[in-house]
């Protein structure tokens, strides 16, 4: 049972927090895309922090290639970093490679330190159930601008995960940032977006964040609307192997008893 939950506002902060399990959150859009791809049946997924490495691994292994630079798919990629696109993919037993500006870098930076999970609203319930087996859990906000600045969107999603984990561990101790993330989900007056899906407090925080506004401005509002829907995936993507600049994720939910 979880005894303590912390929230790291940036990936670099997580490196100084001792934990049994780190949950990386990049709700717009990397970890939502990852959860969606596993729901669609990808065999596994390699997150990478370098564009050339992504292309090389995909070509070498015959993997589907997903990703973005400045929000849009790079030349030669099969798909962007889009959960809406991912929801239509037919993997046919193939694995995937994903490169993004923030989320995959965060996953690679933490891989090998402890159990590392890719979390989002899309798989919030599944991830919350999984992490309760760990005493010390840290939710890691991937942030924006290469993980160097705070992102309200990830912080809001972290608040939902704090609440979900606490539901199963009512005596859990909350770190200061975890307590603030939980409080943020009650900021009912926040209005930063006019997207139709921005009806709940958390959805408004995500859509109205700086990252959300940029994502909407480049014509990807549909990805925001998808990303604010909870529990569309039962996958628990966990790092199973890693190396310099890459982390292999598999779905731990497949190994759990029915």
Global pTM value: 0.95
The per-residue pLDDT for range 80-121, each reduced to its tens digit, is: 999 999 999 999 999 999 999 999 999 999 999 999 999 999
Question: Residue 197: which pLDDT band, with cuts at 50, 70 and 90?
Answer: low
Q: Structure tokens of 58?
A: 């995909």
> At the top level of CATH, which class does the domain 4-232 belong to?
alpha beta
Query: Which pLDDT score is estimated for 228?
Result: 96
Q: Structure tokens of 169?
A: 């561990």
Q: In this model, does residue 188 exceed pLDDT 70?
A: no
Query: Which pLDDT score is estimated for 239?
Result: 98
- Give all strands of the β-sheet with 64-67 in edge-to-edge order: 64-67, 96-99, 45-48, 246-251, 237-243, 115-119, 21-25, 136-141, 4-8, 173-174
Mapped onto helix, strand or coil, the DSSP state of residue 158 is helix
Domains of the chain, residue spans = 4-232
């Amino acid at each position: 049972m979880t005894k303590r939950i912390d929230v790291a506002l940036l990936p670099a902060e997580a490196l100084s927090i001792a934990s049994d399990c780190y949950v990386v959150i990049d709700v717009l859009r990397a970890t939502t895309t990852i959860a969606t791809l596993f729901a669609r049946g990808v065999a596994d997924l390699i997150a990478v922090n370098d564009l050339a490495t992504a292309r090389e691994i995909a070509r070498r292994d015959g993997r589907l290639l997903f990703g973005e630079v400045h929000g849009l798919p790079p030349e030669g990629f099969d798909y962007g970093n889009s959960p809406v696109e991912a929801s239509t993919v037919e993997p046919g037993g193939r694995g995937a490679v994903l490169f993004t500006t923030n989320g995959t870098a965060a996953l690679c930076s933490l891989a090998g330190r402890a159990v590392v999970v890719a979390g989002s609203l899309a798989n919030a319930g599944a991830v919350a159930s999984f992490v309760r087996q760990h005493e010390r859990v840290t939710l890691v906000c991937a942030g924006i601008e290469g993980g160097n600045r705070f992102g309200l969107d990830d912080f809001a999603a972290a608040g939902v995960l704090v609440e979900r984990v606490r539901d199963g561990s009512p005596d859990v101790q909350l770190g200061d940032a975890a307590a603030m993330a939980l409080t943020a989900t009650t900021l009912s007056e926040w209005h930063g977006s006019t997207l139709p899906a921005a009806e709940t407090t958390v959805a408004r925080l995500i859509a109205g964040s700086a990252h959300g506004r940029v994502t909407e401005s480049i014509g990807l509002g549909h990805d925001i609307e998808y990303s604010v829907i909870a529990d569309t995936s039962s996958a628990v993507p966990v790092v199973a192997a890693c190396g310099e600049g890459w982390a292999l994720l598999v779905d731990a939910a497949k190994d759990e008893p029915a």
